[in-house]
Structure 1
Amino acid sequence: MIQEDETEILIVGGGLGGIAAAVSACRLGRKVIVTEPTDWIGGQRTPPTVPPHADPRDGGPGCSQTHRGEG
């Protein structure tokens, strides 16, 4: 199934650089879509201790206000 969306900025990759760019663009009022081929964000900075079935975006301990949509 193909999903179509319109956006001002498309960021390919949810690593540190991609997420930083997305946050900056959102703070400037831009509509942003981030694509990530894996099931989590963080790129190489995602700790190897995160189990493959866990979602580091779940809002648990260590989740920033920005990840929760509060920043």
Structure 2
Amino acid sequence: MKEIKFGKCLLLELLQKKGMTQSELSIKTGITESQISLYISGKRKMSYLSAVKISFVLKCHAEDLYVWKEE
């Protein structure tokens, strides 16, 4: 099987599509705004728990939060 790696974080695009701010997402998930900013900038990858919390709020799948690369 090929290796699957994280690509670009799509969180900012998903927030814009839902008309939601990083601050609103922070309040609804309990994840700090600074942590959300790190995810969006690509400086940090989401834990599975964070991805699930965010996906529940955004009504998407956790896998939708990133572009996935197969290598």
Greater relative contact order (Cα < 8 A, sep 6+): 2
TM range (shorter): under 0.3
Counting helix residues as a fraction of each chain, which structure ranks higher?
2
Please report the TM-score for the alignment, with normalisation by the length of structure 2. 0.27
